[in-house]
Amino acid sequence: MSPREHRKLLFLIHGARADQPALRHLVTWVREKGHSVDPRITWESGDAERFAREGAERGVDAVVAFGGDGTVNEVVNGLSGSEVPLGIIPLGTANDFARQTGIPDDVGQAMDVILHHKPVQIDTAELNGRRFLNVSTGGVGAEATAETPSAAKETLGPLAYAITGMRKFADLRSYSGHFIGPQFELHTKFLLFAVSNGRMTGGGTLVTP
């Protein structure tokens, strides 16, 4: 972020992580540094995107996503078209984007990066009208991600995605897809596809080495 002394920060915190004492301490610590903090808890799909869009319209100096890759994706779409910087505190199961960009796992260290480093511009990609930073997948991989139980993710971490994926292979079937890009059009059957802006997905699987 820019080296101004006072910043208006919007914190978007995934509801499953909102009860962590470290986050309450972090909010207090950032306020003691002289910054305004507006913490919002997300409970339903779409909350983070809506809150981010409203924050950009209000003129916040940055939106900080507290969660995993899904929370980050919503915030990216909420900020699309604005120049409001995005900060990430990785609290999800896989944290693939944060991992490959070197964002620390430690909450305090990640917040220090946000407060004391200038934003950098990065590319985003678009698929079916949705922006994404990392990888967009379809087919068996996407189904495995969607069907992995929250309890399994809490217990096993990224391994939970792999276990669900292996179970999906017992009922493997092909999908039909129609893919259109600036220089191609393809109608084909597939088991899995990945459109990559980043390198890894699904808890560290390299899809674009």
Split at pLDDT 50, 70, 90, the class of 4 is low
Closest CA to 124 of 91, 79, 66: 79
- Mean pLDDT score of the chain: 89
In order of 98, 116, 183, the CA distances from 199 in angstroms are: 11, 26, 23
Among the listed ranges 92-101, 166-175, 197-206, which one has the minimum average pLDDT value? 166-175
Find the helix packing angle between 140-147 and 159-168, rounded to 10°.
Answer: 120
My answer on whether 91 and 54 are in the same domain is yes
Whether residue 150 is found in the same domain as residue 96: no
Q: Considering the domain boundaries, does residue 3 fall inside one?
A: no
The domain in which residue 39 lies consists of 8-122
Entry pTM: 0.84
27-75 pLDDT, tens per residue? 999 999 999 999 999 999 999 999 999 999 999 999 999 999 999 999 9
Give 80-122 pLDDT, tens digit per residue: 999 999 999 999 988 999 999 999 999 999 999 999 999 999 9
State the CATH number of the domain containing residue 115. 3.40.50.10330
State whether 117 and 19 are in the same domain: yes
Residues 49 and 113 occupy one common structural domain:
yes
- The fraction of the chain above a pLDDT of 70, given in percent, is 93
Dihedral over alpha carbons 24, 25, 27, 28 (to 10 degrees) = 120
